[in-house]
Amino acid sequence: MAYKFDIDTTPPVPALPITKDKTKIDVRYAVISPYTTVHIYWDSKNSELKYEVEEPVLTQDEKKLLDKLENAMVEMINVNVVVEKTQEAVLGYLDKTARLLIDELNLSLSESSYNKIFYYLYRDFVGLNETDPLINDYFIEDIECNGLNSPVYIVHRIYRNIRTNINFDSIDKLASFVEKLAQRCGRYISYASPILDGSLPDGSRVNATYTTDISSKGPTFTIRKFTTLPWTPVQLVSFNTLSPEMLAYFWLLIQYKSNILIAGGTSSGKTTLLNAVSFFIPPEARVVSIEDTRELNIPRENWLPSVARSAIGIGTVGEVDLFKLLKNSFRQNPDYVIVGEVRGQEAFVLFQGMASGHSSLSTMHADSVDTVIKRLETPPIELSPTLINTLDAVAIMSHSIVKKEHTRRLSSIVEIINVSPEGIAITNTPFIWNPADDKFYFKKDSKVFDKIKRRYGLTDEQIQAEFTIRTKLIYEMYKKKIFDFNEIQMIVNEYYKNPEAIIQKFNLLPPPAPQKEHQRTYPTGLRY
């Protein structure tokens, strides 16, 4: 009997409603079409949002047949084939193997039963078992399992922390899954080496523990998903993460090769902002990026992404760290260098690159400019104040609570004017977020704009006109709901090549008279 099976792991991404009233949330969308959907709704009994994975329901007989097939397949399946080949080849291989076993075991299956069972075979051998729907959900940022008999939690892009209906109730099953994660990461985990830190083939970061010695609730895992389509600058405006003026400011700084550091706490949105502002890099520029784990996704052709590699086996054999990658990157003639995160000796190389004229962007774990400077000046980094002076601006991202909702905000942009030999910084803050009214304020005075004017021979009127026009352009894209990754990049690139055409297309009027300090003219509406 011939069977036909098809599966789509990248169904269309829906436009989810954003509402402050969580009790009104009730959405359902496909993550593995046509077999798996997720349902996010308000659970009135427990007074919380619930994330339920809805998979094909098997009868008792179908469950027994699935167990027989899976047990038999373990002996036959070639993991390398099902993981590394194309989707069509994978489906063909699994279908052929499953049909062979059905004939050998003399099993009787209807086509509808086979399709349901085949989905689970695909999920468990090709995918990541119960978590596979979560891996395929575009909106999920993190997947968190705290151990045995504990619900898996997710961090949703729109609705934030939510409990799921997935629960590992067998320690053997959970340990086996952690072993599978290690295998997919190309690493090894055992009782002797019970901590896993690696990356899945798609770039998602995995951290896991293996034994009750490490975690009293048994094996645990956290998966930080790699986003193939990151948030665009205009989407961040729609979430009120930052204002159009802030983006226009970054655009000018990046065009004129300034050095920017994005600081903030864990999961505050540092990499998201770094990826968003990289849209403003001129289209002809060569970009080299260096990361511990692949998270950046820059919409351009002339981009060389590099990822650090851990040691193979014991010791440092085969290790390629950020320091080596960064040192090598300056031999690759970059116009812009992007480092995912600085925290060690690689910072010295990065700031030497800044001092030699390579425009650089990076992130750092710190909650203020003072903390940034202290971290840069003390071990293990130990930079001299002279090198720190090559930094032009520090953006501070914060994970805040506004009206009882978890939000991410660009709380301030601080310009570094001078760092004295004693490590005391003189700064200027042109942009600030006020948590009291959840609004952004800016002032006309920018010391980095003054630097740009001196370096490139621009007048104050010219740079203020550009700042106003770009602010208007970003706000017009927001009003017209232009959120598409490629469309926004095309508009930015076209503005570099033919600004008059973009100004005419979006009907951007000549700039108005200079505004008073701290006056907002471009409100943003939507919140998380």
CATH number at 296 reads 3.40.50.300
Give CA 211 to chain center in angstroms.
29
Residue 351's domain comprises 234-505
Residue 323: which of 295, 349, 354 has the closest Cα?
349
What's the pLDDT at 1? 43
Q: Please indicate, yes or no, whether residues 215 and 356 belong to a single structural domain of this protein.
A: no
Q: Please indicate, yes or no, whether residues 51 and 116 belong to a single structural domain of this protein.
A: yes
What's the pLDDT at 513? 53
**318-347 exposure pattern, b = at least 16 Cβ within 10 A, e = fewer:** eeebbbbbbbebbeeebbbbbbbbbeeebb
Q: Please indicate, yes or no, whether residues 217 and 245 belong to a single structural domain of this protein.
A: no
What's the pLDDT at 526? 36
Q: Please indicate, yes or no, whether residues 370 and 337 belong to a single structural domain of this protein.
A: yes
Q: Please indicate, yes or no, whether residues 243 and 370 belong to a single structural domain of this protein.
A: yes
Could you tell me where the DSSP H helices lie in 243-345? 244-255, 270-277, 322-329
Element holding 466 (H helix, E strand): helix 460-479
Residue 440: which of 194, 237, 287, 225 has the closest Cα?
237
Q: Are 427 and 369 in contact (CB under 8 A)?
A: yes
**Residue whose pair of structure tokens reads 């990151």 in the numeric block:** 230
Cross-strand bridge partners of residue 306: 290
Element holding 195 (H helix, E strand): strand 195-199
- Token representation of residue 135: 């891996």
Residue 513 lies in a domain: no
Residue 269 lies in a domain: yes
**Angstrom distance (rounded) from CA 333 to CA 346:** 18
Residue 229 lies in a domain: no
**Angstrom distance (rounded) from CA 205 to CA 293:** 7
Residue 6 lies in a domain: no
**Angstrom distance (rounded) from CA 261 to CA 283:** 21
Q: Please indicate, yes or no, whether residues 193 and 301 belong to a single structural domain of this protein.
A: no
Residue 518 lies in a domain: no
- Give 59's DSSP letter: P
Q: Please indicate, yes or no, whether residues 163 and 265 belong to a single structural domain of this protein.
A: no
What's the pLDDT at 315? 52
Residue 342 lies in a domain: yes
Residue 63 lies in a domain: yes
Last residue of a domain, one of 201, 224, 247: 224
CATH number at 174 reads 3.30.450.380
Q: Please indicate, yes or no, whether residues 179 and 272 belong to a single structural domain of this protein.
A: no
- Token representation of residue 410: 């660009």
Divide the 528 residues of the chain into consecutive groups of 10 and give the mean pLDDT of each group. Answer: 69 86 94 95 94 96 92 75 69 86 88 92 93 95 94 92 95 94 90 88 89 87 85 93 97 97 92 94 93 80 83 60 82 90 87 89 94 92 92 94 82 95 91 94 94 95 95 96 92 96 88 51 40
pTM listed for this prediction: 0.78
Last residue of a domain, one of 224, 257, 281: 224
Q: Please indicate, yes or no, whether residues 205 and 249 belong to a single structural domain of this protein.
A: no
What's the pLDDT at 79? 57
Last residue of a domain, one of 158, 190, 224: 224
Q: Please indicate, yes or no, whether residues 78 and 143 belong to a single structural domain of this protein.
A: yes
238: CB partners within 8 A, 6+ apart? 478, 483, 524, 525, 526
Q: Please indicate, yes or no, whether residues 240 and 287 belong to a single structural domain of this protein.
A: yes
Q: Are 502 and 495 in contact (CB under 8 A)?
A: yes
What's the pLDDT at 287? 94
Residue 59: which of 110, 2, 1 has the closest Cα?
110
Residue 14 lies in a domain: no
Q: How many domains does the chain have?
A: 2
145: CB partners within 8 A, 6+ apart? 152, 168, 174, 220, 221, 222
**Parallel, antiparallel or unpaired: strands 205-209 and 220-224:** antiparallel
Q: Is 61 helix (H, G, I), strand (E, B) or coil?
A: helix
**Angstrom distance (rounded) from CA 337 to CA 99:** 52
Q: Please indicate, yes or no, whether residues 264 and 393 belong to a single structural domain of this protein.
A: yes
Residue 117: which of 187, 62, 182, 161 has the closest Cα?
62
